[in-house]
Amino acid sequence: MKESFTQSMDWLHTWGGLLFGWVLFTIFLTGTLTVFDKEITFWMQPELHHVDSAHVNIKAVEQQLTRLGSNSDRWWIELPSVRTPAVTIFWQRDDQENFEERWLDPTTGEILQVRDTRGGDFFYRFHYSLHLNRTGVWIVGASAMVMLVALVTGLVIHHRIFKDFFSFRPRATFHRAWLDAHNVTSVLVLPFHFVITFTGLVIFWTIYMPAGIQFLYGGNSDKVFHELEGHLEREPARSPAALASLSDMERQARAHWNGGSTESIEVQHPGDRHAIVNVSRRAADRLALMSDRVTFDGATGELLQVWKGELPVFTTYSVLIGLHYIWFDHDAIRWLYFGMSLAATVMIATGLLLWIIKRRDRHTERPLGFRIVESLNVAVVAGLLVAIAVYFVANRLLPVALPDRADWEMGAFFLVWSLCTTHSVVRAHSQQAWREQLSVAALLFALIPLCNMATIDSHLLVTLPAGNWRLASVDLLCLLAGLLLGWAAWLVNRPVEQVHPSSASLTGAEQA
Amino acid sequence: MRWMTLILCYNGWLGLCLAMPKYCRQVLQQDAAPPSQHILRIIGWACLMGSLGVSVAVEGWSFGPVAWVGHLAVMGLALVCLLPYVPRIVLALGALGMASVIALWFT
């Protein structure tokens, strides 16, 4: 081997990072939004903003399900939480494949007319499948593996990791400044990068490492979880029997949980003599994403099983995925995750830019490959930001009664993203493309709170005085994003003063 | 108490930062050698470990370390962003923070 070990690691970091950087950027940016997915969903359903979830009338909810899902074989009730105020009910349709979904007022059980939107769930799905189903999950998995490789190789090639630990020299040369930004967002947040990437892979172990399941369970991963979670199943008896009181069962279940609250109630074969009711505990106060469960006989209300996941291997797995999902109630950790995840996104973006900056001065005329990378950088980094802003705006501006409204919202997102991609290719100078797309993104983000004021009655002027931070923070973060992107656009707009190499190294030395 | 974790993290990083001559010069804006690298380093590590202790004491062993890693990262980034722009404020913030923590402790 002619090259040194560090050189080959550098090569791997550069090219692996470049090829997968674009996908990783979209994964991490949508992942950052997913930290607040339920808050975004709530913001996108203004019809639920005034719902009071202090008292939950399970009896009324049960009546709705009896009425709506009388022929269904399976019901789910999701109870309200701090993050979602309404009761959500689902029931299986006759085709056994799809579910119907409705939002109910927790106190009265009345159906709430909510605009059709995917809300923050869209970002969540995109985060792990890129809207490409199983193929997307594979692409995301491969990217996560490359991310791990990039993290390790990055550590190897970063010679001055301790000497430059706190170095950020924004006034030095372009290359120095961006490299510092890249290093700082990597090194200081390194534990998060490793944990989030690894646990992300763990979530889909059944897809990525199916050998064991293939061998022991004939490839049926549902069977594995049934066994691990000790689910009780039974065939319907095909003879009708009234369902015992769900609210009684829910109360009994809570007695087993030492103050824990109920997340959901599942009914299998409702109205049958063999009905089964599963009451699950909200995993709000633990890292492990693992819900204790109490199972009842639906017809008699008799207690069948109390499950508390004591299997060490399953607990370990649940803690790992819990660290990724953060479905527990801990606002401080949620915000910290948001910050760290944003740092990871910045790390990837700066890495992509560095590839260009390193090579920019070497070429007098720009080869095709170089121009492709330049355009893709604009399309992915700035274009995705524009598309995200459009998704928020579309949620407010599309008519509420529009058929297939949720699809239109997503359509707007993808349409605008493709327009941005075209724009970045058509524009001869990438600097122009950057400036224009960043300006558009800044404007759109700043517009979001205004759209809110024009279309609904729970906007900043109402939510701020009322101290409704769950809604206000979405608007405020949009404003902040608008400001920051505007600043970025202004920075790009400045005439580039070519820093003279000698003076640059001088300022660098002064700063150091 | 979360405030205490944040401030201890910040001061821990600040201590380690000042223990390195080049950052020390950047903060003090003069060519003075750091007072005592050894002591600063010990203070830095003590603050970081102390913040872990506080975080675990408040949040317990499950959430405590997770929150601590988050505080470490965010406060580290904050310090690094302040350093080139307002190097003089960096020290003042640390001192103010410590004072507020002590004040909170005794009230």
> Is residue A327 predicted with pLDDT exceeding 50?
yes
Contacts of A323 in chain B (CB under 8 A): 66
The predicted pLDDT at position B105 comes to 84
> Is residue A502 predicted with pLDDT exceeding 50?
no
Extents of the domains making up chain B: 2-106
Average pLDDT over residues A228-232: 90
Of A362, A387, A421, the position where a domain reaches its end is A362
The predicted pLDDT at position A501 comes to 44
Query: Same structural domain for residues A478 and A502?
Result: yes
Nearest-neighbour CA in chain B from A51: distance (Å)? 31
A162-219, pLDDT tens digit by residue? Answer: 889 999 998 888 899 999 999 999 999 999 999 999 999 999 999 999 999 999 999 8
> Is residue A499 predicted with pLDDT exceeding 50?
no
Write the secondary structure of A15-63 as one string of H (helix), E (strand) and C (coil). HHHHHHHHHHHHHHHHHHHHCCHHHHHHHCCHHHCCCCCCCCCHHHHHH
Exposed, middle or buried: residue A149 (CB in 10 Å: 0-12, 13-18, 19+)? middle
Query: Same structural domain for residues A91 and A212?
Result: no
Query: Same structural domain for residues A356 and A437?
Result: no
The predicted pLDDT at position A507 comes to 39
Percent of chain A with pLDDT strictly greater than 70: 96
**What CATH number should be reported for the domain holding residue A83?**
3.10.450
- Those residues of chain A whose CB sits closer than 8 Å to some CB in chain B are 163, 165-171, 184-185, 188-189, 191-192, 286-287, 323, 328, 330, 332-333, 336-337, 339-340, 343, 511-512
pLDDT, averaged across chain A:
92
Query: Same structural domain for residues A175 and A189?
Result: yes
Q: What's the residue count for chain B?
A: 107
**Contact between B67 and A333 using a beta-carbon 8 Å cutoff:** yes
Give the C-alpha separation, A295 to A274, whole Å. 13
The predicted pLDDT at position B21 comes to 86
Give the C-alpha separation, A327 to A318, whole Å. 11
Question: Cα separations (Å) of A55 from A10, A81, A106, A109, A281?
Answer: 59, 11, 7, 11, 17
Asked whether residue A322 is assigned to any structural domain, the reply reads no
Asked whether residue A262 is assigned to any structural domain, the reply reads no
Average pLDDT over residues A59-75: 92
Quick one: closest CA in B to A510, which residue? Answer: B26
A-interface mutation test, from B80, B85, B90, most A Cβ less than 10 A away: B80
Closest to A327 (Cα-Cα) out of A46, A29, A84, A42: A84
Of A114, A141, A166, the position where a domain reaches its end is A114
Quick one: closest CA in A to B85, which residue? Answer: A170
What is the number of structural domains in chain A? 3
Asked whether residue A272 is assigned to any structural domain, the reply reads no
Quick one: closest CA in A to B30, which residue? Answer: A510
The packing angle between helices B21-28 and B2-18, to 10°, is: 110
Q: How many CB atoms lie within 10 A of CB A441?
A: 28
Quick one: closest CA in A to B18, which residue? Answer: A166
Residues 6 or more apart whose CB falls under 8 angstroms from that of A23 comprise A130, A139, A140, A143
> Is residue A433 predicted with pLDDT exceeding 90?
yes
Vertex A60 angle, CA A54 and A66, to 5°: 145
> Is residue A508 predicted with pLDDT exceeding 50?
no
Asked whether residue A403 is assigned to any structural domain, the reply reads yes
Query: Same structural domain for residues A59 and A19?
Result: no
Average pLDDT over residues A446-451: 96
Give the C-alpha separation, B26 to A184, whole Å. 17
Asked whether residue A264 is assigned to any structural domain, the reply reads no
Q: How confident is the model at residue A444 (pLDDT cuts 50, 70, 90)?
A: very high
Q: Quick check: A138 and A204 in contact, CB under 8 A? A: no
Contacts of B29 in chain A (CB under 8 A): none
A17-38, pLDDT tens digit by residue? Answer: 999 999 999 999 999 999 999 9
State the residue range of the domain holding A460: 368-512
Query: Same structural domain for residues A413 and A463?
Result: yes
Query: Same structural domain for residues A428 and A383?
Result: yes
Query: Same structural domain for residues A73 and A170?
Result: no
Give the C-alpha separation, B41 to B45, whole Å. 6
Query: Same structural domain for residues A38 and A126?
Result: yes
B37-81, pLDDT tens digit by residue? Answer: 889 999 999 999 999 999 999 999 999 999 999 999 999 999 999
Tokens of A72: 């269904």
The predicted pLDDT at position B33 comes to 64
Query: Same structural domain for residues A447 and A333?
Result: no
Contacts 24+ apart (CB under 8 A), A420-427: A420/A378, A420/A379, A420/A382, A420/A383, A420/A386, A420/A387, A421/A375, A421/A379, A421/A383, A423/A383, A424/A375, A424/A376, A424/A378, A424/A379, A424/A382, A424/A383, A425/A375, A425/A379, A427/A378
Average pLDDT over residues A88-104: 87
Instruction: Indicate the range of A296-305, A363-372, A454-463, A464-473 predicted with least confidence.
Output: A363-372
Percent of chain A with pLDDT strictly greater than 90: 81
Asked whether residue A431 is assigned to any structural domain, the reply reads yes
Query: Same structural domain for residues A100 and A178?
Result: no
Of A95, A114, A133, the position where a domain reaches its end is A114
Q: Quick check: A390 and A444 in contact, CB under 8 A? A: yes
Q: How confident is the model at residue B2 (pLDDT cuts 50, 70, 90)?
A: confident
ipTM (interface predicted TM): 0.95
The predicted pLDDT at position A143 comes to 97
Exposed, middle or buried: residue A133 (CB in 10 Å: 0-12, 13-18, 19+)? exposed
Q: Quick check: A285 and A260 in contact, CB under 8 A? A: yes
Contacts of A165 in chain B (CB under 8 A): 16-17, 20
Q: How confident is the model at residue A94 (pLDDT cuts 50, 70, 90)?
A: confident
Going across the sheet that includes A111-112, the strands are A111-112, A99-104, A87-92, A74-78, A262-268, A276-281, A293-297, A303-307
Asked whether residue A274 is assigned to any structural domain, the reply reads no
Computed from CA positions of residues A409, A413, A416, A418, in that sequence, does the dihedral angle turn out positive or negative? negative
Contacts of A329 in chain B (CB under 8 A): none
Query: Same structural domain for residues A422 and A355?
Result: no
The predicted pLDDT at position B34 comes to 62
Nearest-neighbour CA in chain B from A343: distance (Å)? 9
